[in-house]
Amino acid sequence: MSRPDRARGATIVDVAQLAGVSRMTVSRVIHDRAKVREETRMAVLAAIRELNYEPNLAARNLVMAGELRIGVIYSNPSAAFMSDFLIGVFEEATSAGARLILVRGEDGQAPAPRDLERLLSQGVHGVVLAPPLGESAVVRDMLRAANLPLAVVAAGRPASDAINVRIDDRQASQAMAQHLLDLGHRRIGFISGNPNQTASVVRLEGARAAIAAVEGAELVLAQGAFTYGSGLRAAEQLLDRDPPPTAIFASNDDMAAAAVSVAHRRHLDVPRDLTVVGFDDTTVATTLWPPLTTVRQPVRQMAAVALDRLMRVLRSTEPSAEASADYVLDHALIERESTAPPRHAAQVPGAKAHKRSSHA
């Protein structure tokens, strides 16, 4: 390993790396708060001596008082999603007495390495990753090298070395596509999300599974990137098809809102001429006309659960299976005014009568 800059001195992260243990294990040895295997304790003490590490007294007092420093790394192009996510972690941190240190990337990209290094230098105990950074190799490799416990929110599939808090994206997407089929739609446009995110792939898998089970049904694809702008382009492509789809299923609410905007620009009534549905149930879903039928992903709850489970692991005195547990929260299909049967629904075999939900 590279030695720390003498100007800044060694940090607890440097000690953990040299000893080959987690930052919390180093803390336990320093404060003698929990039983640590003798060979581990000796390795940590040897690393402390070699690096001439001097524990920060203020930091020591914080740990002894029970405060945890949690890094929150985020970079999501959906402002509505990130608003819900941050509210969730802030509310949980306030109630649990944790200190949050935020690091932001731009437009779904990982933060600069210097920003991640600055976060590690502040002695964080663990990190919560907002999508899509739970799947960023750059971020994961740096945090793994620092031996930091991780909680990943809203990844399409669980990671084997982190706490995972998510919904079943495939099942949720399949249920939404089935809802459109039940209304009588047989040519359904699908706006996929960023192809580099597993959730995009899994949501497409779910929609395809529902479509494949119905004879004569067709899924028409357009590539999006979970942004409003990409939704505009994808909706234009779908509505330029001959014939156009009678319904558009967008992989998030931002892109669904864009599809509604394109429909209005083309003088199409939603839902009489075109049904549009989304995914997430962010504030966007209820701030446009008509309000969106969408999949409710409990983003605030997911963020709060991720922080809570991460703090449980950090405060545990023994290794815990919770450090790589998979928590799958409930989703719901919320029906609003953006859905209706296509005009020819009465002629479609198996189409169900339309009944609007009372969900708001």
Q: Is the pLDDT score of 353 beyond 70?
A: no
What does the block give as tokens for 23? 């930052």
Under DSSP, the state recorded for 236 is: H
DSSP string, 261-317: HHHHHTT--TTTT-EEEEEE--GGGGSSSSPPEEEE--HHHHHHHHHHHHHHHHH-S
How are strands ordered across the β-sheet holding 150-153?
99-104, 69-74, 126-129, 150-153, 163-166, 326-328
Distance CA 134, CA 311 (A): 18
Distance CA 72, CA 60 (A): 22
Which among 204, 216, 254, 211 is positioned nearest to 233, based on CA atoms? 254
Distance CA 228, CA 212 (A): 28
Q: Is the pLDDT score of 295 beyond 70?
A: yes
Distance CA 31, CA 64 (A): 8
Least confident of 87-101, 218-232, 274-288, 305-319: 305-319
What does the block give as tokens for 260? 């509604």
CB atoms closer than 10 angstroms to residue 103 = 20
Distance CA 318, CA 312 (A): 11
pLDDT tens profile 58-93 = 444 444 445 789 999 998 778 888 889 999 999 999
Confidence class for position 172, pLDDT limits 50, 70, 90: very high
What does the block give as tokens for 149? 């416990």
pLDDT tens profile 79-134 = 888 889 999 999 999 888 889 999 988 877 888 888 988 888 888 999 999 988 88
Under DSSP, the state recorded for 243 is: S
pLDDT tens profile 184-227 = 999 999 999 998 889 999 999 999 999 999 999 999 999 999 99
Q: Is the pLDDT score of 2 beyond 70?
A: no
pLDDT tens profile 322-332 = 777 899 999 99
How far from 200 is each of 44, 76, 169, 223, 348, CA to CA, in Å? 42, 14, 9, 10, 30
Given this model, what pLDDT does residue 317 score?
65
144: enclosing H helix or E strand? helix 137-145
The answer to whether 153 and 134 have CB atoms below 8 angstroms apart is yes
CB atoms closer than 10 angstroms to residue 316 = 13
Strand segments, DSSP code E, in 75-125 are: 99-104
Least confident of 49-58, 189-198, 257-266, 296-305: 49-58
What does the block give as tokens for 222? 């357009």
Query: Mean pLDDT, to the nearest integer, of 131-142?
Result: 86
Q: Is the pLDDT score of 354 beyond 70?
A: no
Instruction: Output the pTM of the full model.
Output: 0.77
- 248 Cβ neighbours under 8 A, 6+ residues apart: 188, 189, 190, 191, 235, 238, 256, 259, 274, 275, 276, 277
